[in-house]
């Protein structure tokens, strides 16, 4: 029986029924290669959890409190279905949590009544500071695992090589959702810590050529291909954002 990473994630998260768990444990007992994959996934989840704790400690609590209060007042009798999947990094490795601090800010933005995922991304990107992602410094193996997990969810092949951008350092890749569509985010920082994001949504959209614009004062570049939408955004000169987008459009 072929075992994929999703099944190993489910075992680590204790989400299998007893029969399936028993079969998988029996296979682990006799398959050394499978055990190595299992241990690698467990270790990756532990490392990422530690990194995300740093993000949580930097969450802008006054802004969050104010935003949460305003949302509650605006819709006192209308329950809102959260658009963020807080455990959406399966299909790659076991993470019990999402991007702690970042997920909280994104949840606020994406819960607002907006059908345009690009506007939602621009809103939460505007909240990031030079201290948001710069403390995260994963090694090459963890970077590859995170990218593979996000790529599996959005249907794109993501590797450290094909997402690398000149003058930027990879910090983290994580999964969100917008209106039920998988939304992957890959965060980079420049030498000053200023974040640049590559976001990919698997929404079945039609192909479109690269387009430059500004939202919330931030330059962004977007394009669509093979049922996925792509977006590059950050506090960088427009020409630099366009350069990043063109490189990624050619590689991914």
Question: Domain-by-domain residue ranges, the chain?
Answer: 44-251
**pLDDT of res. 48:** 53
- Of 82, 132, 89, which is closest to residue 110 (Cα–Cα)? 82
**Which tens digits make up the pLDDT trace of 137-169?**
999 988 999 999 999 999 999 999 999 999 999
Question: How much is the average pLDDT of 226-244?
Answer: 97
Which burial class, exposed, middle or buried, applies to 196 when counting CB atoms under 10 A from its CB (0-12, 13-18, 19+)?
buried
Place 4 in a pLDDT band, splitting at 50, 70 and 90.
confident
Quick check: pTM over 0.85? no
| Structural tokens at position 168 | 């930027």
Over the chain, what is the mean pLDDT? Answer: 77
**Which helix (H) or strand (E) element contains residue 222?**
strand 218-225
**pLDDT of res. 103:** 47
pLDDT exceeds 70 at position 193: yes
Question: How much is the average pLDDT of 65-83?
Answer: 45
**pLDDT of res. 5:** 75
pLDDT exceeds 60 at position 101: no
Place 53 in a pLDDT band, splitting at 50, 70 and 90.
low
- Of 132, 46, 150, 52, which is closest to residue 99 (Cα–Cα)? 52
Q: Which CATH architecture has domain 44-251?
A: 2-Layer Sandwich (3.30)
**Which of 1-10, 96-105, 109-118, 243-252 has the weakest average pLDDT?**
96-105
**pLDDT of res. 144:** 93
pLDDT exceeds 50 at position 192: yes
**pLDDT of res. 32:** 79
Place 83 in a pLDDT band, splitting at 50, 70 and 90.
very low
Location of structure tokens 């427009």: 238
List, in order, residues 6 or more apart from 94 with CB less than 8 Å away.
8, 9, 12, 13, 41, 42, 44, 45
Bridge partners (DSSP) listed for residue 176: 183
**pLDDT of res. 17:** 85
**pLDDT of res. 26:** 76
């Amino acid at each position: 029986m072929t075992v994929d990473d999703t099944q190993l994630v489910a075992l680590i998260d204790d989400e299998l029924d007893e029969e399936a768990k028993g079969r998988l444990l029996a296979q682990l007992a006799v398959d050394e290669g499978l055990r190595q994959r299992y241990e690698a996934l467990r270790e990756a989840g532990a490392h990422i959890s530690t990194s995300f704790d740093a993000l949580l400690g930097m969450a802008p609590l006054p802004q969050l409190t104010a935003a949460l209060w305003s949302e509650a007042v605006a819709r006192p009798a209308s329950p809102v279905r959260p658009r963020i999947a807080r455990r959406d990094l399966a299909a790659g490795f076991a993470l019990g949590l999402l991007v702690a601090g970042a997920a909280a800010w994104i949840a606020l933005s994406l819960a607002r009544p907006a059908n345009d995922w690009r506007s939602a991304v621009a809103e939460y990107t505007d909240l990031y500071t030079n201290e948001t992602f710069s403390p995260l410094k994963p090694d090459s193996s963890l970077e590859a695992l995170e990218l593979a997990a996000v790529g599996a969810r959005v249907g794109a092949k993501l590797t450290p090589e094909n997402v690398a951008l000149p003058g930027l350092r990879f910090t983290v890749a994580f999964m969100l959702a917008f209106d039920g569509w998988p939304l992957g985010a890959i965060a980079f920082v420049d030498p000053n810590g200023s974040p640049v994001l590559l976001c990919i949504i698997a929404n079945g959209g039609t192909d479109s050529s690269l387009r430059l614009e500004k939202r919330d004062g931030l330059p962004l570049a977007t394009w669509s291909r093979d049922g996925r939408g792509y977006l590059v955004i950050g506090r960088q000169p427009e020409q630099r954002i366009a350069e990043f987008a063109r490189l990624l459009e050619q590689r991914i």
